Amino acid sequence: MDLLKAFILGVVEGLTEFLPVSSTGHLILVSHLLGIPQTTAHKTFEVVIQLGSILAVVFLYKEKLFKDINLWKKLIVAFIPTGTIGFLLYKTIKSLFIPSLTAVMLIVGGVIFILVELWHRNRDFPIKSLDEIPYHKAFMIGLFQSLAVIPGTSRSGATIIGGLLLGLDRKTATEFSFLLAVPTMFVATVYDIYKNYQIMTVENWQYLFIGFITSFIFAVLSIKLFLGFVKKFSFIPFGIYRIIVGLLFLYLGIKATQ
């Protein structure tokens, strides 16, 4: 990897982390296009630059995060399923970081998004704010999030779909997804660094710094634009986008093997 590739991956991470299109999937697929092999060091890079995106959420939602203890309780409850699965199946999850599986999950998730939106069209969503989310539904959203350990599923996509199915309106489901990323991604990043610190070199840290800063800047932009979008439109365009990207990379993968 070089600094330009680290910058490109930081842009991809920042723009896609909070969109329901799978940031991990896009990082894997873009890395594949850039000719970067999925080594242990690179997989760690893909996880660690998510810290920049975490800080973007903290920056934009600092008042809610630092003043609302009940919100933190809900986020911790929602984090439990993913944290447990991630800890128990760490090595298995890492082995799933391959382009073909990512492409398939992008397509599957895209189809699910379209079906859920069509099914819930014109439905009244009773939960219209973060304060109204009960603890048992926060936990159930966490169960949906745990599906995102499979690359290409999309953490934000899984939590947003879960929120919609549980009665959250689009804005509330989206904001809870943003905020749930803070404990989830922070713990995942710290644990990944702990497991792989011995392979990190000075050169790797330079790439991490570039990816980190870039992901923060573009995540702030992405969050603001996405919130404006969901207030006016459905998630169907993201479902269509996922299907197109997944099919494109399946096609490129087939061409590469011929």
At 38, give phi and psi (nearest 5°): -85, 65
CA-to-CA distance for 244 and 219, rounded, in angstroms? 23
pLDDT tens track for 102-154:
888 899 999 998 998 888 777 778 999 999 999 999 999 999 998 888 888 88
pTM for the predicted model, two decimal places: 0.84
Query: Residue 40 contacts by C-beta under 8 Å, 6 or more apart in sequence?
Result: 94, 196, 199
pLDDT tens track for 207-229:
888 999 999 999 999 999 998 89
Which residues constitute the domain of residue 115?
3-257
pLDDT tens track for 179-194:
998 998 888 778 777 7
Task: Please provide the size of the chain in residues.
Answer: 258
Count the domains in the chain.
1
CA-to-CA distance for 186 and 22, rounded, in angstroms? 17
